[in-house]
Amino acid sequence: QKEVEQDPGPLSVPEGAIVSLNCTYSNSAFQYFMWYRQYSRKGPELLMYTYSSGNKEDGRFTAQVDKSSKYISLFIRDSQPSDSATYLCASNAGGTSYGKLTFGQGTILTVHP
Amino acid sequence: NAGVTQTPKFRVLKTGQSMTLLCAQDMNHEYMYWYRQDPGMGLRLIHYSVGEGTTAKGEVPDGYNVSRLKKQNFLLGLESAAPSQTSVYFCASSRPTDSNQPQHFGDGTRLSIL
């Protein structure tokens, strides 16, 4: 079993929809949680970063972490065609882990006009 | 702003051939990482380096070697390529961190082994 599990989708939604992307993790040592966005034929880029449990909002994007249930979520409001990409959740244990990330499988999202 | 540059972008190899993938970063980052990305598997860490002259194994190191002779460069070598190593390889770098610095990724090397 992977330490970070993510439904690969694909997920297709109409423009303007609210998108919910989710991951679960099994390693209790994970403290830092990220969402990366990856466009086709490109490298991942950091979208959101959260420490421990709680919410973080940035424009149309909201990241949530519930450490009690080991659940990570990303919400996209008013989705746009430009949001079409693969979304990867990632976690890190902090401390002496040297920034090493454990990624989920990635969810392919398509927002159609 | 070049950021992280990977060379080459595409390559086709025959089984048993060797090759080296080059990663260069111009951000003066201490940490560098090599990942492979396969369908349905996400990104998996192959090797990483926390400084010039130091390397360490990640989750899937078998069949690969790395070197970090210069701070800005991180090389990934395949000594005897196998079809199972067909993948997209990503290099990333970050500042020294316990975790809260983002990793900056290159755009990948697409490698096919026949």
pLDDT in tens, A4-60: 999 888 999 999 999 999 999 999 989 889 999 999 999 999 999 888 888 999 999
pLDDT score of B100 more than 80: no
DSSP H or E run through A21: strand A19-25
Q: Is A98 on the interface with B (CB under 8 A)?
A: yes
Task: Give the pLDDT confidence of B21-78 residue by residue, as tens digits.
Answer: 999 999 999 999 999 999 888 899 999 999 999 999 999 999 999 999 999 999 999 9
DSSP secondary structure, B4-41, as one string: EEEE-SEEEE-TT--EEEEEEESS--SEEEEEEEETTT
Which pLDDT score, from 0 to 100, does residue A1 have? 72
Please report which confidence band the pLDDT of residue A62 belongs to, taking 50, 70 and 90 as the band edges: very high
Tell me the shortest Cα–Cα distance from A79 to chain B, in angstroms: 23
Nearest to A87 by CA among B43, B11, B69, B30: B43
Find the CB nearest B40 among A98, A102, A105: A105
Which pLDDT score, from 0 to 100, does residue A46 have? 92
The mean pLDDT of B87-107, rounded to a whole number, is 85
CB pair distance less than 8 Å for A51 and B90 = no
Please report which confidence band the pLDDT of residue B110 belongs to, taking 50, 70 and 90 as the band edges: very high
Which pLDDT score, from 0 to 100, does residue A98 have? 76
What the block records as the tokens of B74 is 């991180």
Probe site for chain A from B31, B59, B99, B101 (most A CB atoms < 10 A): B99
In angstroms, what CA-CA distances link A56 with A33, A73, A82?
11, 11, 21
Find the CB nearest A42 among B40, B103, B107: B107
